[in-house]
Structure 1
Amino acid sequence: MPRTVKDLLVEIKDTTELMVDLAYSAILYNNEDIAEEVLELEGRVLDLLKQIRVVSILAARRVEEAEKVSSILQIANAGQKISSAAADISSLVLRNIRLSDEMVKLMLYHSEETVVKLEVPENSEIAGKTLGEVRLHTRTGMRVIAIKRGFSWIFNPDRDTMVYKGDLLFAKGDPAALPRFYEVVAGKQIPPPPEPPDIKIEELDRAVDLLIEVKNLSELSVDLAYSSLIYGNDEIALEVVYLEEVIDNTKFEIEKSVLKCSRHFNDEQLMPLMAIVEIAYCSELIADAARDIAQVLLDKMEIPAIFKEAMRETDEVLTLITVSEESPLNGKTLGEARVESNTGMHVVAIKRKNEWITKPTANTRIFSGDVLIAKGTREGESELLKLCSTRAPLP
């Protein structure tokens, strides 16, 4: 049975976002199994792109229809760019080009969203239940992106996926949500993560700091790009253009810092430096693809209603919610309100009057009238909507 444009768009977005998550997981945990899965998914995206081209061409019989198709194809082609960049990051693992342990610890500690792996113990409350039954994402703010079961892998598990004792969960979310995730999955308390070790070489320390910035901003730019189209918001689209320019400039700074510090290393020690440069380059490609998506709106291309319908059916929804004066969030920081832990929604940006906060942290304070751009599950969206409008106290 032929696939519809909507179905293909949903799968392209879901697959490319999963690929980025898995690619960074592969490089941070030096995991070849995950890296190989990313390369297989790249082939899947190429196949989806061929299908959407054929379906779109067949659907365009008049000039007006062709204009609608051109915007859909530009979005799909941007997805393919993201897919290719994720595959290139994963290829580093298979070529044994990896970051040093110190670099990995720094990236995990300072990333806006961290990746964790945790084994499900025998006495876990989630063992023998589905992810939907335990509402893991909503309760903890951490989304399971892969499960290793013995020698088998389950990538992009859904709410019907069963969890068993001994499963190794790979999950992504706010670093502040880690204690709750450990409590629910393993029934144990964990202390705050220790400060990562200092990198002694100043230029290398700067390169890693900038790499963390580029990684965070490139992922943010994709979320904002899709948001700009869903809500027809030129301001968000222009923010994506700005972020792409920032990332371009930052990539050059990373390359300069790496060149400066390379004199401290011999030929056998250059692999981590190569990894930094390549990850920065791939992150820039992801930001370029995000700009291509946002450009659809800025170029006044027609965005078919089917696009918005498709975005509502993806694994993670993007939503804009205004904070009311009665909301318990009013006057609280994201950390104090434990927004991600309580709702499973990750706040990626905030609009306050005529200004944008594109990198909200746990210390970012929320006020009535703020517009939150957040991503997560549909159930989490409902929880965040209630939190932004209700008079009830925080959980």
Structure 2
Amino acid sequence: MDPLEGEASSPVAYEPVSVKDVLVEMKDTAELLIDLSYSAVLHRNVGLAEEVLRLEERMDVLEMRARMSLLMAARSPDDAERLAPVLSIVAATDGISDAAGDIAKIVLEDIRVPEAMRAALPEALETLVRGSVEADSPHAGRTLKGIDLESKTGVRVIALRRGSEWLLNPGPTTRIEANDVALLRGPDSAIGEVYREMTGEAYEPFDPDSPAVADLERAVDTIVHMKNLSELAVDLAYSSVLFDSEALAEEVRNLEVEVDALESRFEAWVLRAAADAEDPVSLRGLIHLGTSTEVISDAAVDISEGVLRDIEVHPVVGMAVQESDEIITRIEVAPESALDGTAVSGGVPDAEVTMSVIAIRRPEEGWLLVADADTELRAGDVVLAKGTRSAAEQFEALAGT
């Protein structure tokens, strides 16, 4: 019997769980699902696709528990009004999960994408792999701080699955155990050795043919950009709710408009590529991928809808905010301000402030994801950055806003 079969149909009983904790876990799960599903397709990795389906089933359970808890919490019309946006967040998050599952099925159901797709990917794109930790691994029984993988190799452990339980945000004190399923992300040059040390097996990367159709290269570049913008939209959507920020919610709308425009161009390029492809049916998976990506960006708008409609945030959301000092802030660089002309390399601005720039919306050029390239801030740039509250205040002051 397939190990994935039968799990989703298990009954879900009501448990007095914290709605706040469930919402945080749903957010973390959604973000990991997006990452895993695209990596499964772009690297044609069946193992990653199977983990997507496992996480999708976990999300179904979280959604049911969240709905039960929210229904129990509604005791008056005022409660119902304030909880309605939270229900929208739950539904939209489940929609993201379903879209990620559809993306994974491109691999599992052999819907087919061009063999040349992997070769057309940007060289800077990191590899994500899945492996089971062997008992004799030098990493088994040690904490992530003790292993210090990231500083030594650039490879990060982004999640661990221990049986049916998931550790979605492993930190320095997280201990890797034998038989854990580890999800590793890092550069191609280092991922193979780390994978071998973890699993005791050789890493065999997917070796595709070279791309033969120019429009296919453009289509793949576009879908990678759509994926990155959709991930950013989901991150901003949750942040707009957590911090009741209409400015961030508006940026979610802007991102969704950009993804819609990219999808239109993407479909045109795929259709043009079909005219020159030896097997046009092999392009079907790309269309499937584009449609699911748009679903994810639409869901991000649904998550932030309550903020856009100026509905008061329920206290359960405020409780989640109080636990984290890290926030996302949006600033506009004023002419001749301290940030006008400031260099940004790998997301870190050349300024006396500990903020990480994650994206820039430039009026004439559209969106620039800073992790993909080095750039220089200009007057008029709308900058999205992540950091502590105190650093955010300093950053806003430097921008002249």
Scaled by the length of structure 1, the TM-score of the pair is 0.72
**Partners of 1:138 and 1:11 in 2: CA distance:** 27
Counterpart position of 2:236: 224
Q: Deviations over 1:101-132 (max 9, x none)?
A: 53223335355xx3344999999996752124
Gaps spanning 5+ residues in structure 1: where?
188-195, 376-380, 390-395
The match for 1:49 is: 63
1:349 paired residue number? 359
Query: Kindly tell me: are residues 15 and 206 of structure 1, through their superposed partners in 2, closer, same or farther at Cα, counting changes over 3 Å?
Result: same
Asked if 1 retains the 8 angstrom alpha-carbon contact of 2:103 and 2:288, the reply is: yes
- If asked which structure has higher relative contact order (CA below 8 Å, sep 6+), I would say 1
What 5-or-longer segments of structure 2 have no aligned partner? 1-14, 198-207, 396-401
Partner of 1:144: 157
Change (3 A) 1:368 1:250: closer
User: In the alignment, which of 48, 52, 76 is matched to residue 38 of structure 1?
Assistant: 52
- Rounded Cα–Cα distance in structure 1 between residues aligned with 2:128 and 2:111: 21
Q: Select which of 56, 63, 74 maps to 2:88.
A: 74
In the TM superposition, what whole-angstrom CA distance separates every residue of 1:133-191 from its partner, at most 9, and x where no partner exists? 45656887754234699x99976362344347999964347x7xx7798999999xxxx
In structure 2, C-alpha distance between the alignment counterparts of 1:157 and 1:301, rounded to whole Å: 30
- Following superposition, the deviation at residue 23 of structure 1 comes to 1.1
Partner of 2:270: 258
Query: CA–CA distance in 1 between the matches of 2:134 and 2:68?
Result: 48
Closer, same or farther: CA 235–16 of 1 in aligned 2, 3 Å: same
**Which of residues 84, 91, 95 in structure 1 aligns to 2:105?**
91
Structure 2 match to 1:299: 309
Following superposition, the deviation at residue 287 of structure 1 comes to 0.1
State how far apart, in whole Å, the 2-side matches of 1:209 and 1:351 are: 19
Partner of residue 162, structure 1:
175
CA–CA separation in structure 2 for the residues paired with 1:90 and 1:12: 19
SS of 2:62's partner is helix
Q: How far off is 1:230 after superposition?
A: 2.7
Please report how far the alpha carbon of residue 4 of structure 1 lies from its aligned counterpart in structure 2 after TM superposition. Answer: 1.8
- Cα 1:331/1:261, change in 2 over 3 Å: closer
1:378 aligned residue: none
Whole-Å separation in 2 of the counterparts to 1:385 and 1:127: 37
How large is the RMSD of aligned CA atoms in angstroms?
A: 4.7
Q: How does 1:189-228 map to 2 (within 5 A)?
A: 199-228=211-240
Measure the CA separation in 1 of the matches of 2:94 and 2:71.
Answer: 18
State the number of aligned residues.
358
1:367-378 paired onto structure 2 within 5 Å: 373-374=384-385
Distance in 2, matches of 1:319 and 1:290, equals 16
The TM-score with structure 2 as length reference comes to 0.71
Structure 2 Cα separation of the partners of residues 369 and 139 of structure 1: 39
Which of 272, 288, 300 does residue 278 from structure 1 map onto? 288
CA deviation map 1:190-228 (0-9, x unaligned): xxxxxx997332322221222122111111111121222
Change beyond 3 A, Cα 1:139–1:293 = farther
1:29-87 CA-to-partner distances (Å, cap 9, x unmatched) read 32222212211222221222222122112211112111111011111111011100100
Partner Cα separation in structure 1 for residue 19 and residue 182 of structure 2:
33
Q: Counterparts of 2:374 and 2:77 in 1: how far apart (Å)?
A: 50
Q: 1:181–1:205: structure 2 CA closer, same or farther, 3 Å change rule?
A: closer
Contact 2:348 2:356 in 1 (8 A): no
Between the aligned residues of both structures, percent identity stands at 35
Letter matched to residue 344 of structure 2? T
Please give the secondary structure, in 1, of the residue aligned with 2:121.
Answer: helix
Q: Describe the shift of the 1:5–1:334 C-alpha distance in structure 2 as closer, same or farther (beyond 3 A).
A: same
CA distance in 2, matches of 1:255, 1:369: 32
Aligned 8 A contact 2:361 2:383 in 1: yes
Which AA in structure 1 matches 2:61?
D
